[in-house]
Amino acid sequence: MRHLIGSLAAAGIFALFSATPATAHATLEKSEAATGGYKAVLRVPHGCDGQATHTVRVEIPEGYIGVKPMPKAGWELDIEAGDYGKTYSLHGREVSSGTRVVTWSGGELDDSHYDEFVLSGSLSGVKAGQTLYFVTTQFCMGGEVAWDEIPAEGQDPHELEHPAPQLVILASGDGAHGGHGTHAGMDTTLVVGDLEISSAWARAMLPNQPAGGGYLIIANRGSEADRLVGGSSPVATKVEIHSMEVVNDVMTMRPVDGGLEIPAGGTVELKPGGLHVMFMGVATPFKDGDTVPVTLEFEKAGSVEIAFPVRKAEGGHKH
């Protein structure tokens, strides 16, 4: 970033100045979240003062750890690592350093266009009601816009001309600590490590039925494969990943040996009639409207807690 700005100044072409911002501010798509996995989607609604943006720089706030940015086609990605203010627990291990600044450069966001810049990480060591600020700077050929103003105590952030995108930490008994992810319902996307987990639900069971099925979608945004290796639930004696297929006109179901691979850049869908989560030894059959707490174990992403809403088969997702 410094060499880019320095080269422009040395050439005597432009003087760097603070441009007057357009009407819309840079913001986070999801401005509230509980502790655990959090996908930060920074929305940049325009260039700066009529000029196209070629660089977007985001400073990672303390408490947002294990951050990995999503690459963007046509943009170069630069990651600056550094020490955290304290030591955190991430996926079962202690970490004291990580990504502190992310820069996308070399692109072109026209002043009349809109774009998103995505980060994936975990919220840790933060308290309910606390606000984290993602200081962001847009660089154009003739200037910059810095979204870096933080409101004073009691001040309305809407009064600021250049407010930093903010994230308010929610109170939640479902927040996970020590490297676990937060609970994900059927309309929630849970981010843990490089994985995005969504569309979780469990099928309602018949009276006295000892086993039930659960379904979800797992997307791997990383460059390496991960593997779903196991699970557990307080409402079942055993949780396994099963496959279902027809062999010689007979429907067979069996555990997936060695765990279920989630390929790099791929998506695996667990759905009725195919791969699914199998709950065995269920004492109280799942009823429509219930919620089933589940802990899934991934080889690399670690353990993650998910709440599976229970629905009748005909009311489940259509796959």
* Residues 200, 184 contacting (CB under 8 angstroms): yes
CATH of domain 190-315: 2.60.40.1890
- What is the pLDDT tens value at each position of the chain, 319 positions in all? 444 434 433 333 333 333 333 347 899 988 888 888 888 999 998 888 789 999 999 999 999 999 999 999 999 999 999 999 999 987 667 899 999 999 999 999 998 998 999 999 989 888 888 999 999 999 998 889 999 999 888 787 778 889 999 998 887 543 333 334 444 445 567 888 888 898 899 999 998 899 999 999 999 988 899 999 989 999 999 999 998 776 666 667 788 988 999 999 999 999 888 899 999 999 999 998 888 999 999 998 888 888 899 988 654 443 3
Whether pTM > 0.75 for this model: the answer is no
Q: What is the CA radius of gyration of the chain?
A: 23
Residue 193: CB atoms within 10 A of its CB come to 24
Q: Given the DSSP bridges, would you call strands 211-220 and 190-192 parallel, antiparallel or unpaired? A: unpaired
Strand, coil or helix: what is 119? strand
Q: Which CATH superfamily is domain 17-169 in?
A: Uncharacterised protein YcnI-like PF07987, DUF1775 (2.60.40.2230)
Residue 295 phi/psi, 5-degree rounding, is: -110, 120
Q: Given the DSSP bridges, would you call strands 195-203 and 302-311 parallel, antiparallel or unpaired? A: parallel
Q: Can you read off the two tokens belonging to residue 272? A: 């009725």
What's the DSSP call for residue 20? Answer: P
pLDDT of residue 172: 52
Residue 276: CB atoms within 10 A of its CB come to 22
pLDDT of residue 166: 93
pLDDT of residue 239: 94
pLDDT of residue 72: 93
Same fold, 17-169 and 190-315: yes
* Residues 227, 271 contacting (CB under 8 angstroms): no
**Residue ranges covered by each domain of the chain:** 17-169, 190-315
